Chains A and B, each alone.
Chain A
Amino acid sequence: MNQEASINFSEDEKDILQEIMNIAFGNATADLAEVVDIYVMLSVPNIQVIGIGELPFYLKDTIKDDGESSIVEQKFWGSFKGSGLLVFPSGSGKDLLAFLDDRADYHHEGTAAATLEKGGLLEIGNILIGACVGKVSELLSTFVTYSPPQVLQGKSSDYNYLIEHFDPMQTAIVMKTIFTFKEKDINGFLLILTNHESIDWLRKALHEFMGSYE
């Protein structure tokens, strides 16, 4: 069920949120660049309001990958509450990790390689999601706490497992940025999801943010 109408998030509010996401993701990539010598190209962020029940279809359509994606999820709590998802379509996660750490062979099967891969993805996820959500929180004058990031396992063709802890009848604001690691032509997505509980606060915070410019 699409509850976009009930949320009544205006185009102006979406524009403000898009600019805030743009700033936040720029901040996140700069943080990553401090840790590793990599240049990240960014897309213009996209903001959508969709029913949580539609989220698996949205992700399937966005990721367009029938293989096994690498997904890092980190939840955050506070007035701004939701989940950050860092998604690498199949193979991209391993390619990125191999690029970042050329001593390790992430393409080999086995427990050691899987542990290395998981650790590397968690670290990248922690930096990008944490810096992005942290900057949004800073700009909107709030603070959040984070759960530890986790690598999610699941078939890419079925993203229902991502919404198990959400009420499918509720609505989510999905903030998506596509990024490309230029040197390796590796693409991924950063999605920040927030749901009903944060929307009233978010709307008010967006107006206060713009109010400081008037």
Chain B
Amino acid sequence: MINTILIVDDSPVARRMLKTCIPKDKGYEIFEAGNGQEGFEKYKELHPDIVFMDLTMPVMDGYQATAKIKEFDKDAIVIVTTADIQPKSIASVMELGAFTLLKKPAKTESIQEAISKVEIKMKKLQEK
């Protein structure tokens, strides 16, 4: 079951947009971080069920942050939300172990579909 979500993006506007796409009736607790370093620190502290991760950020970018989070917790679910949709960028984040990549701007349908896929995955893991 998903309880907590962490949004990592340097743009307060992008975080706001993403938050509006997350269903409000599920009672998810949403946390935010303004760069990859802060995101990694918050991941260690909060162990969120899902991380929405931007790629182009100051201090630490989303590639490094995803790698660090996956190194810390190989089961971490990182959903990359990015405007950088070059094939090499997509391949790189998937190699790092991202759950999926969603193109910006955030859309309610794609965000909710991704969350549903995570729910299904978590359910399957619990049933094992």
Q: Which residues of A are in contact with B by a Cβ distance under 8 Å? A: 12, 15-16, 18-19, 22-27, 29-30, 33, 39-40, 42-44, 139, 210, 213-214
A210 to chain B: closest residue by CB: B13
B58 to chain A: closest residue by CB: A44
A26 to B21, CA, bound (A): 21
Max chain B Cβ within 10 angstroms of own Cβ: one of A42, A43, A210: A42
Whether B87 and A33, one on each chain, are in contact in the complex, defined by CB atoms closer than 8 angstroms, is yes
State the Cβ distance, A135 to closest chain B Cβ, in Å: 9
Total B residues in contact with A, Cβ cutoff 8 Å:
22
With a cutoff of 8 Å between Cβ atoms, the chain A residues found around residue B83 in the complex are: 22-27
Whether A27 and B85, one on each chain, are in contact in the complex, defined by CB atoms closer than 8 angstroms, is yes
A13 to chain B: closest residue by CB: B13
B14 to chain A: closest residue by CB: A19
B78-106: which have CB < 8 Å to A?
82-89, 104-105
Max chain A Cβ within 10 angstroms of own Cβ: one of B16, B21, B82: B16
Given contact pairs A19-B104, A39-B89, enumerate 9 new A-B contacts (beta carbons under 8 Å).
A19-B17, A22-B11, A22-B104, A23-B83, A44-B57, A210-B13, A213-B16, A213-B17, A213-B21
With a cutoff of 8 Å between Cβ atoms, the chain B residues found around residue A33 in the complex are: 86-88
State the Cβ distance, B90 to closest chain A Cβ, in Å: 9
Whether B104 and A30, one on each chain, are in contact in the complex, defined by CB atoms closer than 8 angstroms, is no
B23 at the interface (CB under 8 A from A): no
Whether B105 and A23, one on each chain, are in contact in the complex, defined by CB atoms closer than 8 angstroms, is yes
With a cutoff of 8 Å between Cβ atoms, the chain A residues found around residue B85 in the complex are: 26-27, 30
Whether A39 and B11, one on each chain, are in contact in the complex, defined by CB atoms closer than 8 angstroms, is no
Whether A29 and B16, one on each chain, are in contact in the complex, defined by CB atoms closer than 8 angstroms, is no
- Describe A's contact surface by its main secondary structure: helix
Name B104's contact: one of A15, A26, A40, A213 (CB within 8 Å). A26
Whether B105 and A139, one on each chain, are in contact in the complex, defined by CB atoms closer than 8 angstroms, is yes
* B1-26 interface bits toward A, Cβ cutoff 8 Å, 1 = contact, 0 = none: 00000000011111011001100000
What are the 3 A-B residue pairs with the smallest beta carbon separation, nearest first? A26-B83, A23-B83, A19-B13
Q: List 19 A-B contacts (CB under 8 A).
A: A15-B13, A22-B56, A23-B83, A25-B83, A26-B83, A26-B84, A26-B85, A27-B85, A29-B86, A30-B85, A30-B86, A33-B86, A40-B86, A44-B57, A44-B58, A210-B16, A213-B16, A213-B17, A214-B20
A184 to B12, CA, bound (A): 33
A209 to chain B: closest residue by CB: B105
State the Cβ distance, A43 to closest chain B Cβ, in Å: 7
A22 to chain B: closest residue by CB: B83
With a cutoff of 8 Å between Cβ atoms, the chain B residues found around residue A27 in the complex are: 83, 85
A213 to B104, CA, bound (A): 13
B88 to chain A: closest residue by CB: A39
With a cutoff of 8 Å between Cβ atoms, the chain A residues found around residue B20 in the complex are: 213-214
With a cutoff of 8 Å between Cβ atoms, the chain B residues found around residue A210 in the complex are: 13, 16-17
Name B11's contact: one of A19, A24, A29 (CB within 8 Å). A19
With a cutoff of 8 Å between Cβ atoms, the chain B residues found around residue A44 in the complex are: 10, 56-58
